[in-house]
Structure 1
Amino acid sequence: MRKWLLTIVYLVVSVFLTRLIPFSSFFRNVDTMVHEFSHAVVTLLLSGQVLRIELHADHSGVTYSRLANSWSQLPVALAGYIGASVFSMLLFYLYYRGRLKTGLGLVSVIAILSLVLFVHSGFGFTWLLVFAALNSLAWRFASGVILRVYYLLLAFLTLEESAIGPFSLALYALQDSSRAGDATGLERATGMPALVWALLFVVVALICATRALSCFFKPQKQPAPVRSRFSSSSPFSKNR
């Protein structure tokens, strides 16, 4: 419990600090992108059909799909918030491992796949184009402190949004369970109250956020140098 309280304190401080950064609101849609992409991937894995994804300027999003059967609604509805929380933890793990460009590459792949397969108009289409371009520039040209600052901006904003979302969902479920998004869908599918599902998302978000922050506060590892087979004394590595 103490770790969770510390996690909440760190998240509150992080939210306050990142709000002071110009254009930080633009990057908050990364969490929405991952959330909706998670819905889409699980839908396809369960033989459903993804019709389209919409990303909105207020950081909300919707995935329109046809499910292969009624029981598919359960894993598909679970995938959004849980997928976003796990992804935020993955970003911090890659930071701890010193794999910043791997993390940027992964985010860029999700953006490009979303563009090609699911998002074809509106704000989301423009946002994905700009975001993919910025990420490509950072991956290609940024290094050192600039790369680290850009990566951590994405990681912390994604972490914040993936944690704030479930808390907001729980408040909606308390006030009106019909307005609790994925939790409402789960209530209809299972009969369990939306608030129970929202609290499940809160627990998963706190677990992932706690582990993400533990990766951040650990000393960052450096990728092991790779030696050329033609020389035993000349290491080479990619710039990060």
Structure 2
Amino acid sequence: MQSWVKMALFVLVTAILTRLVPFSAFFRNVYTLVHEMAHAVMTLLLSGSVLYIHLYADQSGVTHSMIQAGWRSILISLAGYTGASLFAWLLFRLQASGREKIGLLLAAAIASLGLLLFVRNGYGMLWCLGFAVITLLVCFLTPNWLRIFYASLVAFICLVESVISSVTILAIAIMDPAGAGDAANLSRATAVPAVVWGLYFAWVALWCARNATSLLFRSIWNRRAEERREPERFPM
């Protein structure tokens, strides 16, 4: 129970702080891109065709694809929120193990692939290009402290957006089931109420957030323990 409380407080504080960071809205599209790319990749894995992805300045996005009707649409609808939440958790795992550079390269690769293969509206293409270039520059041409800060910012924003987006879709599923996006699509495909799928998305996001924050706190604790174990050095 204590870990869930820590997670809730952490997400709340991070949501407030990240919105105070200049240009934080720009980075919130990382979550949107990963969400839409998860839909696209699942579509391709199930032998469908991705027509295009559009990303917008208000951090919304849409993926248009073609696939045979049936069970495949269920997996595609599940992929967006689930994949984006797992991506946020992965960034924290890499950060906790000191491999934040891999996380940044992965994020830049997703933006580059999105630009080359799927994203076709003006804003979305410019955003993918800009994010990929900035991320690669930070990865290879900046001091270690700045790279860690940048990677932390991207990871925190992805985590917060995964929780906010999933809780939002749950609220919409309760108040307006037909307008609940992926939850509504799943409801139409399975006859299971949209609110149940909204609860599933919220649970996945909160589970990933809980594990991500546990990784963060554990890495901080281990770092402090190592510092305490280091012998004091006295000048001779």
Pair in the same fold by TM > 0.5: yes
Moved over 3 A (4+): none
Contact 1:46 1:68 in 2 (8 A): no
Cα offset for 1:179?
0.9
Question: 3-state SS of the aligned residue for 2:20?
Answer: coil
Cα offset for 1:5?
2.8
For residue 21 of structure 2, what is the aligned residue in structure 1?
21
Cα offset for 1:101?
1.0
Cα offset for 1:150?
0.5
Please tell me the residue identity of whatever aligns with 1:20. L
Question: 3-state SS of the aligned residue for 1:64?
Answer: strand
- Distance in 2 (CA, whole Å) between partners of 1:187 and 1:2 is 34
For residue 50 of structure 2, what is the aligned residue in structure 1?
50
For residue 72 of structure 1, what is the aligned residue in structure 2?
72
* TM score, norm. by length of structure 2: 0.91
For residue 138 of structure 1, what is the aligned residue in structure 2?
138
Stretches of structure 2 lacking an aligned partner (at least 5 in a row): 224-236
For residue 196 of structure 2, what is the aligned residue in structure 1?
196
Matches of residues 78-93 of structure 1 in structure 2 within 5 Å?
Answer: 78-93=78-93
Aligned residues: 222
- Distance in 2 (CA, whole Å) between partners of 1:68 and 1:139 is 41
For residue 159 of structure 2, what is the aligned residue in structure 1?
159
Contact 1:34 1:84 in 2 (8 A): yes
For residue 225 of structure 1, what is the aligned residue in structure 2?
none
Matches of residues 1-240 of structure 1 in structure 2 within 5 Å?
Answer: 1-219=1-219
- Distance in 2 (CA, whole Å) between partners of 1:129 and 1:67 is 28
* TM score, norm. by length of structure 1: 0.89
More helix by share: 2
Please tell me the residue identity of whatever aligns with 1:55. L
Measured on the aligned residues, the alpha-carbon RMSD in Å equals 1.3
% identical aligned pairs: 47
Cα offset for 1:4?
2.2
Cα offset for 1:217?
1.5
- Distance in 2 (CA, whole Å) between partners of 1:43 and 1:158 is 23
- Distance in 2 (CA, whole Å) between partners of 1:12 and 1:48 is 38
CA deviations 1:130-150 (Å, max 9, x no partner) are: 111101111111232111111
Question: 3-state SS of the aligned residue for 2:167?
Answer: helix
Cα offset for 1:121?
2.4
Contact 2:30 2:158 in 1 (8 A): yes
- Distance in 1 (CA, whole Å) between partners of 2:106 and 2:95 is 13
Question: 3-state SS of the aligned residue for 1:59?
Answer: coil
- Distance in 1 (CA, whole Å) between partners of 2:164 and 2:10 is 13
Contact 1:85 1:159 in 2 (8 A): yes
Question: 3-state SS of the aligned residue for 1:70?
Answer: coil
- Distance in 2 (CA, whole Å) between partners of 1:75 and 1:18 is 32
- Distance in 1 (CA, whole Å) between partners of 2:216 and 2:148 is 12
For residue 234 of structure 2, what is the aligned residue in structure 1?
none
- Distance in 1 (CA, whole Å) between partners of 2:103 and 2:125 is 22
- Distance in 2 (CA, whole Å) between partners of 1:122 and 1:45 is 27
Question: 3-state SS of the aligned residue for 2:71?
Answer: helix
Cα offset for 1:122?
2.0
- Distance in 1 (CA, whole Å) between partners of 2:70 and 2:57 is 31
Contact 2:81 2:166 in 1 (8 A): yes
